[in-house]
Amino acid sequence: MPDDFAQRRKDLLDLLVSQLNEFVVVLLDRTGNFTSWHPGVYTQLGYTKEEFIAKNLEILLPLADRLRASAQQELSAAAETGAASDTRWLVRKGGQRILAEGVTIPLRNVAGELLGFGKVIQDVTERKNAEDDLKALARALEESPVLIWSWDGVIEHWTTGCERLYGWTAQEAVGQVSHTLLRTTYPAPLEEIHQHLLATGMWQGELRQFRRDGSPVYVAAHWVLLSDDADEPISIISTHTDITARLKMQQELEAVNERLKKMAQELERSNEELEEFARIASHDLSAPITSTRWLVDLLTTRHAKNLDPEGQKCLKQISVGLERMADLVEAVLTHARVGKSAIGSAESVNAEDALAIAIENLQRDVQTTGAEISYDTLPELLIQAQPLAQLFQNLLSNAIKYRPPNAPPVIHVSADREGVLWRVAVRDNGIGIEPEWHERIFQPMQRRHGMNIAGSGIGLATCRKIVTRAGGRIWVESQPGSGSTFYFTLPGAADPRSEAAKETAATTQFGVG
């Protein structure tokens, strides 16, 4: 009967051990070779029974430990002291390293003779990683401005990050009332913040506080409420982020924006005054120029025959000068009108109609020079008709003025889609423009050919003003002797023309017959 009880006890013990898969429980002989296998061996180390039995303890050790004979040292220590325990890195079958806690005990018979060893191993890699993560988190929190205070505001924990931010050490801060020590200004009454904490368990907002040296500091605070088992508030964990520099920059940007706004308003006012002056001056100059031209015409008609050739030449120069002055006054007045009136339009205008008006206004120049003006089918543009006609007229007039010396002007107008805008091109066969003048010609009173060719020096500046105020841009591509192409972009309908119209559209041409 005692033998049966002992056998049952042994069987139960074996069954218990076999169920402990999170452990490795094995036997070794006196030389360190495994003499038993346990399901935990496969679960934790990856070895089957056939791969494990009779193998030496060294198969579980990294190469460095093998070279140091760590397995034999462990067995010797266990035999001498009665047990050997350690935490070390082991190697699984596939080469993966695990951190394991183990204990090795010697097994002896009643006579004290060493029969072998028993060894228990447990994988603690995840626990070690969790402990390392927790330590890293604790270090990070210690370096961050994190403080804990009781529900009544008394500081219980003060990190190194708080010491750097505010200047007080933990010894000086713990036990103080937080909002009294830091002279905190809250965005709402503290009672309301506490009510929000009780309702939601957290609160965040921006606080104004003061450092130990008296300087203000602004922080973004995030509070979390800690409660006991009875749901009674115990303390508050608060993380603070210094936003002083950000707020300072934001305030500076707001101040700069305000100054820019005032400068823009002042510039707009100055422009309005300048445009008003230009209109008044142009209007007031028109009357004496008209009177003087009438007197010169009268003098030419009645008395030119009485003048010698030098006098007639002077009279002609006066007439030409007055004509250019009249053109300049008219150009200044036109330029001023562009600055005053609204140009963009919610309703589209047919560019071909505006081009036809411009050509009609230039009929005398077209007939005189024999200019040939052609154009493709043009789109509808979101701009008022009069400024668009003025834009075309200025560009066509320029092309006619700067025509080649021994050939009539040939001008072609086309349009292509460019993103959400239309790009209109006015191409001519004129004398061309040097690259260094491509930008200057759009500035007022910048004339490439001086007085050699009639003009006000304001036409292209007016073109830029029209295009800019309508939401586009204008530029030129040209080389001397190769003609010029003026481009401008304006908003307009995606494509108002039908497919049939596109297919059958023919180039329209104006000129002398």
CATH number, position 322: 1.10.287.130
- Residue 386's pLDDT band, with cuts at 50, 70 and 90, is confident
Give the span between the Cα atoms of 43 and 93, in whole angstroms: 11
pLDDT at 507 over 80: no
Tokens of 299: 């003098």
Look at the chain and count its residues.
Answer: 513
3 lies in some domain: no
21-45 pLDDT, tens digit per residue, is 678 889 999 999 999 888 888 888 9
The closest of 467, 478, 455, 463 to 394, measured between CA atoms, is: 463
- Average pLDDT for residues 196-220, to the nearest whole number? 93
Same domain, 413 and 356: yes
- Residue 457's pLDDT band, with cuts at 50, 70 and 90, is low
**Domain limits at 92?**
15-125
Same domain, 209 and 290: no
Same domain, 224 and 163: yes
CB 426 within 8 A of CB 409: no
138 lies in some domain: no
Tokens of 186: 């809250």
254 lies in some domain: no
4 lies in some domain: no
481 lies in some domain: yes
Q: What is the pLDDT of residue 18?
A: 62
* Number of domains observed in the structure of the chain: 4
Q: What is the pLDDT of residue 277?
A: 66
- Average pLDDT for residues 352-363, to the nearest whole number? 89
Residue ending a domain, among 306, 321, 340, is: 340
Same domain, 113 and 187: no
What stretch of H or E contains 97?
A: strand 97-108
- Average pLDDT for residues 176-198, to the nearest whole number? 92
Same domain, 21 and 85: yes
**Dihedral of alpha carbons 274, 275, 279, 280, sign:** negative
Q: What is the pLDDT of residue 495?
A: 58
Q: What is the pLDDT of residue 174?
A: 92
Residue 157: partners with Cβ closer than 8 Å, 6 or more residues away: 146, 147, 148, 170, 174
CB 420 within 8 A of CB 472: no
Residue ending a domain, among 319, 340, 361, is: 340
Same domain, 373 and 330: no
360 lies in some domain: yes
Average pLDDT of the chain, as a whole number: 81
Same domain, 353 and 489: yes
Other residues' Cβ atoms within 10 Å of the Cβ of residue 354: 23
Same domain, 34 and 50: yes
Give the span between the Cα atoms of 49 and 40, in whole angstroms: 11
148 lies in some domain: yes
Same domain, 365 and 505: yes
Check residues 462 and 337 and name the one with the higher pLDDT.
462
Q: CATH number for the domain including 155?
A: 3.30.450.20
Q: CATH number for the domain including 410?
A: 3.30.565.10
Listing DSSP states for 343-402 in one string gives: -EEEEEEEHHHHHHHHHHHTHHHHHHHT-EEEE----EEEE-HHHHHHHHHHHHHHHHHT
Q: What is the pLDDT of residue 341?
A: 52
Same domain, 490 and 438: yes
- Residue 73's pLDDT band, with cuts at 50, 70 and 90, is very high
Same domain, 99 and 200: no
467-501 pLDDT, tens digit per residue, is 888 888 899 888 888 889 999 999 887 654 444 33
Same domain, 392 and 503: yes
Residue ending a domain, among 97, 125, 153, is: 125
pLDDT at 19 over 90: no
139 lies in some domain: no
- Residue 131's pLDDT band, with cuts at 50, 70 and 90, is confident
Tokens of 445: 């009173």
